[in-house]
């Protein structure tokens, strides 16, 4: 550290911490951004399959999960995707739009980190890596911070230490512990955007089908319907559609799978097959991988000739195709989760400034808060937007 006192210290040089530091630096503040990891932006580097889904053109509050659904509105309205896109374009980073407004870099997530590092330099931010925070105490109106690199003070403290997913990238519960130290409510954390595991007694069936992918629609007991690809794994289910629904799934509850989302009226479709004496397997093969057709028909004991089916049996068939209730018994845990749900309660912070109501000069931004986005670039948009709002108040 080059100084002993800063206007602002930001703990966590991830997505939110870097953007907050840049914007505070451009406002003329003397900013220290510190991180215990050897490099900044570790999750950005591996995000979006290495291409970083850095935002989404269709951001709306309904894409976020938070105990108070109104909390996200102000920050999202004040920092829209176009603002980040403009930055990306200014740095000549090529990108593409995929389904549903998702924006990805073309040449790799490292470019987003490089862009943010350049901006940190331009904004005059001091970056201190490999820096462990040992203790944080507020004395009078000043924050006193003990670190493995020395002792320092600051007028304001921003916590941007993220969530608990991917512990191998040095994720930590630092922010939640600090919140508790100051008597702030923390909503218990759990893995989100994560594969779901099936009970051990059913695994052999799924495992035999591992590697297969198909288009489904899926819903949890609470929450929206998601459509997209589902991937069958040795342990259970994964793929974008399952990651989405995992944010809403609770242990002990089922998820409902529609295995024919493209067929508008399955009852009519089945009746049609019956009347035309078409085989069930032949029709299913037009929608599913062959291996799944065989395994599924054996599991549910539906034979191929619909001519003998009563209406009741036809209805049962329709239900197992479009509303198959399956009971995962766990998630694949933080090691495989893209985000964590829960975190510092949003009741504790201002939705305009992100300063805590109880402790002046203390701010929480990004994923450490109880705000989790759907898959599709929404989590980064939250990191950028909350960082932007906070930086205007520092
Ligand atoms: P973030 O985790 O980015 O940063 C926290 C920082 O704090 C880290 O640098 C960490 O080292 C540091 N830190 C933690 N504890 C500390 C301590 N005690 N002392 C000092 N420093 C500490 N989202 C999206 O929108 N599009 C995508 O494509 C993807 N893809 C994706 C893939 C994978 C594999 C993962 C794991 C996650 C994603 N995400 C994503 C989610 C996204 O990465 C995540 O929501 C944001 O990075 C959150 O930004 P934050 O700045 O809040 O935390």
228 close to ligand 1 (CB < 6 Angstrom): no
- Nearest-atom index, ligand 1, CA of 14: 4
- Nearest-atom index, ligand 1, CA of 174: 18
Q: What confidence score (pLDDT) does residue 240 get?
A: 97
Q: How far is the CA of 45 from the centre of ligand 1 (A)?
A: 10
Q: What confidence score (pLDDT) does residue 308 get?
A: 85
Q: How far is the CA of 366 from the centre of ligand 1 (A)?
A: 9
Q: What phi and psi, each to the nearest 5 degrees, are found at residue 177?
A: -65, -40
370 close to ligand 1 (CB < 6 Angstrom): no
CA atoms within 13 A on the CB side of 365: 38
Closest CA to 341 of 363, 373, 364: 373
Q: Which domains does the chain have, with CATH numbers?
A: 5-191+338-391 (3.50.50.60), 196-331 (2.40.30.10)
Q: Closest residue (by CA) to atom 24 of ligand 1? A: 377
Q: How far is the CA of 171 from the centre of ligand 1 (A)?
A: 8
- The best mutation among 161, 337, 381 to test binding of ligand 1, ranked by most ligand atoms within 8 Å of the C-beta, falls on 161
375 close to ligand 1 (CB < 6 Angstrom): no
- Nearest-atom index, ligand 1, CA of 109: 28
Q: What confidence score (pLDDT) does residue 341 get?
A: 98
Q: How far is the CA of 381 from the centre of ligand 1 (A)?
A: 12
Three-point CA angle 145, 151, 154, nearest 5°: 50
Q: What DSSP element (H or E) covers 311?
A: helix 311-322
104 close to ligand 1 (CB < 6 Angstrom): no
Q: What phi and psi, each to the nearest 5 degrees, are found at residue 237?
A: -130, 145
Q: What phi and psi, each to the nearest 5 degrees, are found at residue 150?
A: 130, 180
Per-residue pLDDT of the chain (394 residues; tens, 9 = 90+): 777 999 999 999 999 999 999 999 999 999 999 999 999 999 999 999 999 999 999 999 999 999 999 999 999 999 999 999 999 999 999 999 999 999 999 999 999 999 999 999 999 999 999 999 999 999 989 999 999 999 999 999 999 999 999 999 999 999 999 999 999 999 999 999 999 999 999 999 999 999 999 999 999 999 999 999 999 999 999 999 999 999 999 999 999 999 999 999 999 999 999 999 899 999 999 999 999 999 999 888 888 888 888 999 999 999 999 999 999 999 999 999 999 999 999 999 999 999 999 999 999 999 999 999 999 999 999 999 999 999 999 9
> 275: helix, coil or strand?
helix
DSSP states of 10-79 as a string? EE--SHHHHHHHHHHHHTT--EEEE-SSSSS-HHHHHGGGGT-EEEETT--GGGEE-SSTTTTHHHHHHS
DSSP states of 156-218 as a string? EEEE----SS-GGGT--SHHHHHHHHTT--EEEEEEES--EE--HHHHHHHHHTTT-EEEEEE
Q: How far is the CA of 218 from the centre of ligand 1 (A)?
A: 27
> 324: helix, coil or strand?
strand
384 close to ligand 1 (CB < 6 Angstrom): no
- Nearest-atom index, ligand 1, CA of 161: 7
Query: Helix, strand, coil proportions of the chain in percent (round to 5)?
Result: 35, 25, 35
37 close to ligand 1 (CB < 6 Angstrom): yes
12 close to ligand 1 (CB < 6 Angstrom): yes
- Nearest-atom index, ligand 1, CA of 40: 9
Q: How far is the CA of 42 from the centre of ligand 1 (A)?
A: 7
What does the DSSP 8-state code read for residue 360? Answer: T
377 close to ligand 1 (CB < 6 Angstrom): yes
- Nearest-atom index, ligand 1, CA of 55: 25
What does the DSSP 8-state code read for residue 279? Answer: B
Q: What phi and psi, each to the nearest 5 degrees, are found at residue 19?
A: -65, -40
Q: Closest residue (by CA) to atom 53 of ligand 1? A: 162
Residue 100, classified by CB atoms within 10 Å of its CB into exposed (0-12), middle (13-18) or buried (19+), is middle
133 close to ligand 1 (CB < 6 Angstrom): yes
Q: How far apart are CA 268 and CA 318, in angstroms?
A: 10
Closest CA to 162 of 376, 365, 392: 365
- Nearest-atom index, ligand 1, CA of 387: 51
CB neighbours of 98 closer than 8 A, spacing ≥ 6?
53, 104
Closest CA to 131 of 111, 142, 114, 145: 145
């Amino acid at each position: 550290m080059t100084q002993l006192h800063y206007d602002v210290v930001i703990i966590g040089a991830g997505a939110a911490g870097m953007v907050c530091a840049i914007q505070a630096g451009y406002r003329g503040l003397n900013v220290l951004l510190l991180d215990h990891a050897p490099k900044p932006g570790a999750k950005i580097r591996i995000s979006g399959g290495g291409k970083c889904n850095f935002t989404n053109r269709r951001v709306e509050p309904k894409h976020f999960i938070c105990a108070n659904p109104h909390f996200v509105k102000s920050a999202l309205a004040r920092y829209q995707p176009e603002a980040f896109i403009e930055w990306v374009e200014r740095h000549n980073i090529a990108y593409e739009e995929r389904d549903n407004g998702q924006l990805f870099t073309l040449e790799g997530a490292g470019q987003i980190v490089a862009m943010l590092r350049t901006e940190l330099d331009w904004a005059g931010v001091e970056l201190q890596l490999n820096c462990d925070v040992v203790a944080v105490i507020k004395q009078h109106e000043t924050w006193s911070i003990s670190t493995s690199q020395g002792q320092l003070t600051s007028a304001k403290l921003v916590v941007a230490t993220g969530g608990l997913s991917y512990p191998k990238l040095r994720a930590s519960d630092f922010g939640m512990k600090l919140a508790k130290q100051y008597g702030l409510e923390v909503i218990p954390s759990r893995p989100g955007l994560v594969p779901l595991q099936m009970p051990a007694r059913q695994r052999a069936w799924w495992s035999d089908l591992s590697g297969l992918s198909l288009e489904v629609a899926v819903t949890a007991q609470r929450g929206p319907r998601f459509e997209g690809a589902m991937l069958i794994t040795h342990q259970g289910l994964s793929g974008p559609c399952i990651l989405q629904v995992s944010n809403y799934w609770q242990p002990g509850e089922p998820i409902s799978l529609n295995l024919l989302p493209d067929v508008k009226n399955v009852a009519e479709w089945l009746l049609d097959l019956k009347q035309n004496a078409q085989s069930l397997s032949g029709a299913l093969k037009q929608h599913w991988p062959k291996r799944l057709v065989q395994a599924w028909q054996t599991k549910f004991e539906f034979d191929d000739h619909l001519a003998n089916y009563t209406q009741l049996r036809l209805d049962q068939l329709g239900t197992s195709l479009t509303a198959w209730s399956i009971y995962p018994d766990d998630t694949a845990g933080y090691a495989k989760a893209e985000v964590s749900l829960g975190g510092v309660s949003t009741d504790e912070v201002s939705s305009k400034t992100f300063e805590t109501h109880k402790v002046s000069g203390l701010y929480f931004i990004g994923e450490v808060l109880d705000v989790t986005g759907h898959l599709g670039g929404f989590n980064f948009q939250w990191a950028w937007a909350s960082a932007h709002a906070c930086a205007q108040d520092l």
